[in-house]
């Protein structure tokens, strides 16, 4: 009998209940699932630290949007995933999130490189069950939105660094160029220069921000 120790972190108890029911109903005959749950960063980090000193978790599910810890040290599922990788390097990390913007997907893959990355709007019960079993054996498993993003960016010949990605992302959120320096540690003139480069990279002929965003969207950067 294989005992699989699991931590599920999501701030909606009904969602955790749904995940638990799916995994318990679809587990293989030789699997015993031991599931701990947490609804916020404080509870989760206590459980992670306790497990790292006792029986480490085999699999951890993290939602990205979570109530931050009291001390502000952990503000999201990303922070908890990084803590887990540090104290339990053998644990498989699964990110489940509503966020489906390319910028967030890129950052999560770059920072965490999870064993599983599932966008909630892609998920069915069967996909969650299949993903779980695949991640146990042959990670990684990415749901369709993540897979499509990776295919698009790998097939694109355009290289856009993290700051440029952030500029594109903020512009798409309606942030004006003169306000970008509030979000990015660069002067407005340095940001303007990067925008010009981006327009060259994306072959924007009319120089408009809207055209840049359209090209970025078509090539999978938004």
Reply yes or no on whether the pLDDT at 219 is more than 90: no
Reply yes or no on whether the pLDDT at 94 is more than 90: yes
In order of 84, 95, 129, 155, the CA distances from 113 in angstroms are 13, 10, 21, 19
- Report the number of distinct structural domains present in the chain: 2
pTM: 0.78
CATH number at residue 127: 3.40.50.2300
Summarize pLDDT for 50-78 with one digit per residue, the tens.
999 999 999 999 999 999 999 989 999 99
Same-domain check for residues 116 and 182:
no
- Say if CB 107 and CB 2 are below 8 A apart: no
Averaged pLDDT for residues 185-201: 89
Reply yes or no on whether the pLDDT at 157 is more than 80: no
Give me the pLDDT at residue 221, please. Answer: 86
Give me the pLDDT at residue 9, please. Answer: 98
Residues 222, 218: Cα–Cα separation, whole Å: 8
Domain of residue 169 covers: 162-218
What is the distance in angstroms between the CA of the first residue and the CA of the last residue of the chain?
45
Give me the pLDDT at residue 48, please. Answer: 98
Chain center to CA of 8: 15
φ/ψ region of 207 (left if φ > 0, alpha if ψ in -120 to 50, else beta) reads: left
Same-domain check for residues 74 and 37:
yes
- Give the HSE-up count for residue 49: Cα atoms under 13 Å, Cβ half-sphere: 6
- Say if CB 199 and CB 207 are below 8 A apart: yes
Give me the pLDDT at residue 177, please. Answer: 93
């Amino acid at each position: 009998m294989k005992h699989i120790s699991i931590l599920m972190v999501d701030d909606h108890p009904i969602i955790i209940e749904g995940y638990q029911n799916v995994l318990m109903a679809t587990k293989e005959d030789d699997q015993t699932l031991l599931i701990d749950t947490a609804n916020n960063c404080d509870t989760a980090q206590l459980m992670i630290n306790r497990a790292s000193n006792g029986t480490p978790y085999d699999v951890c599910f993290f939602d990205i949007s979570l109530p931050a810890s009291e001390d502000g040290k952990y503000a999201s599922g990303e922070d908890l995933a990084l803590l887990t990788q540090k104290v339990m390097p053998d644990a498989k990390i699964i990110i489940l999130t509503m966020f489906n913007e390319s910028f967030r997907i890129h950052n999560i893959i770059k920072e965490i490189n999870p064993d599983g990355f599932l966008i909630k709007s892609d998920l069915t019960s069967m996909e969650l069950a299949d993903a779980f079993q695949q991640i146990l054996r042959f990670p990684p498993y990415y749901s369709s939105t993540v897979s499509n993003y990776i295919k698009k960016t790998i097939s694109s010949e355009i290289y856009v660094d993290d700051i440029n990605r952030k500029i594109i992302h903020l512009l798409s959120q309606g942030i004006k160029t003169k306000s970008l320096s509030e979000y990015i540690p660069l002067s407005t003139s340095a940001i303007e220069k990067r925008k010009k480069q981006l327009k060259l990279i994306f072959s924007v002929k009319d120089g408009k921000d809207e055209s840049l965003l359209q090209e970025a969207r078509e090539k999978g950067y938004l």
